[in-house]
Amino acid sequence: MTAVTFRLDATDGTARAGTLTLPHGAVETPAFMPVGTQGTVRALSPLDLEAIGTGMVLANTYHLHVRPGEEIVVALGGLHRFMAWRRPILTDSGGFQVFSLEGFRRVDDDGVEFQSHVDGARRRLTPERAVEIQWALGSDVAMALDHVVPGGADATLAASAMHRTTRWLRRALARHATLAAEQPGRQTLWPIVQGAAHRELRTAHAREVLEVADWSGVAIGGLAVGEPKPVMYGILELLEPELPRQRPRYLMGVGFPEDLLASVARGVDLFDCVAPTRNGRNGSAYTPDGPVNIRNAAHRRDDAPLDATCDCETCRTYSRGYLRHLFVAEELLGLRLLSLHNVRFLIRLASDARRQIRAGSFDPWHRQWMDRYNPRRNRET
């Protein structure tokens, strides 16, 4: 028995609308997952997230392992009960975090040793441990541990890390299969396609990964890490025909509104990013006319909502002038209200894209949307 299915509801060129069914419910794609790093989407409650139509959230395996520790999460009823989130959760593998940490880190074929950012203690992560931790957490989708290299890594380093990622993937799958034998359909495991910015490695790795198993979904890692946009778009176009049509594709760490739409156009179904909450806490809000800095003095006596087209509590309730006041006066409510709006903006963007795909009008809509969101860039390209 597997509880995980993906149904392709419609396509429009390479853009896709689907329904991903997971143990804790169904998610309509394209979909954006807000990030709950430490078991909470910063400044937002589960009720807030439900109110703005969040279908699925991401939580960070590394962070939850280091604090409070998965044994505490288990004692408190598993990750869903712990963070009071009833719908699907995807956990990352911890790989990205471990390889992004400042300070000590040593990687070999067995796994990676690193220093906890909380207490400085040395810890080890292996493909098996990453699977075990995520199994303990009880997320719907677990990610296999990958060896992450910097975006600009040369072909030798990128190839070696990528082949190691494939070897780790086989071990992760074996461990996951043993655990899942006891409780089938509790959780599914997805691989991560790496290869940095090297096109030949990307194609090779996609093929390697897909030879290992018939995955219920495939992630694309190592993009949106600072490379020029055309490089990312090019790799997505390259991978699109390589990836199984009937499986969801998850682009890790994306992103900004314009990147989300550009990636939907290139066949991506799932996204996650800290940007909407992080930018929100910095006073930057997405609007159909581009980002707005709410601290700007221009908003001082502006009675208009942040985004007149938005249906979130922030836009239905407060003026820009009040939101500016909250930020200038350093009030906590401001952090929450802008985070709420920004996440709603991306969720609505994904669901608008879905509607346009189903109507066969994604391309012209996408062009029009970009034109309004960022007229200058649009004229330049």
259 is catalytic: no
305 binds its own copies (CB under 8 A): no
Please report whether residue 143 would count as binding its own copies according to CB under 8 A.
no
The nearer residue to its own copies, 171 or 299, going by C-beta atoms, is 299
Q: Please state, in angstroms and as integers, the Cα–Cα distance from residue 210 to each residue in 102, 218, 263, following that order.
A: 33, 9, 21
Determine which residue in the list 8, 11, 19, 68 makes contact with its own copies, applying CB under 8 A: 68
Computed over its alpha carbons, how large is the radius of gyration of the chain? Answer: 20
In the complex with its own copies, the residue whose CB is nearer, 68 or 150, is: 68
> Which of the residues 309 through 348 are near its own copies (CB under 8 A)?
313, 317-319, 321-322, 325-326, 328-329, 331-333, 335-337
Distance CA 131, CA 189 (A): 8
Kindly indicate which of the ranges 67-75, 105-113, 188-196, 233-241 contains the residues binding its own copies, using the contact rule CB under 8 A: 67-75
Alpha helices in the chain (DSSP H): 46-51, 61-66, 70-75, 78-83, 95-100, 127-137, 155-182, 199-212, 229-239, 257-265, 275-281, 313-317, 320-328, 332-358, 362-373, 375-380
Is residue 28 involved in binding its own copies (CB under 8 A)? no
Instruction: Give whichever of 24 and 325 is closer to its own copies, judged by the CB atom.
Output: 325
List the structure tokens of 317. 């309730």
Is residue 234 close enough to count as binding its own copies by CB under 8 A? no
Backbone angles phi, psi at 103, to 5 degrees: 90, -160
Residue 272: active-site member: yes
Phi–psi pair at 329, nearest 5 degrees: -85, 5
Please report, to the nearest 10 degrees, the dihedral formed by the alpha carbons of residues 340, 343, 345, 349 taken in order.
Answer: -160
Smallest distance, its own copies to C-beta of residue 317, A? 5
Q: Are strands 57-59 and 284-285 parallel, antiparallel or unpaired?
A: unpaired
Interface residue with its own copies among 6, 32, 62, 82 (CB under 8 A) is: 82
Residues in touch with its own copies (CB under 8 A): 38-40, 42-47, 67-68, 72, 75-77, 81-84, 300-301, 303, 313, 317-319, 321-322, 325-326, 328-329, 331-333, 335-337
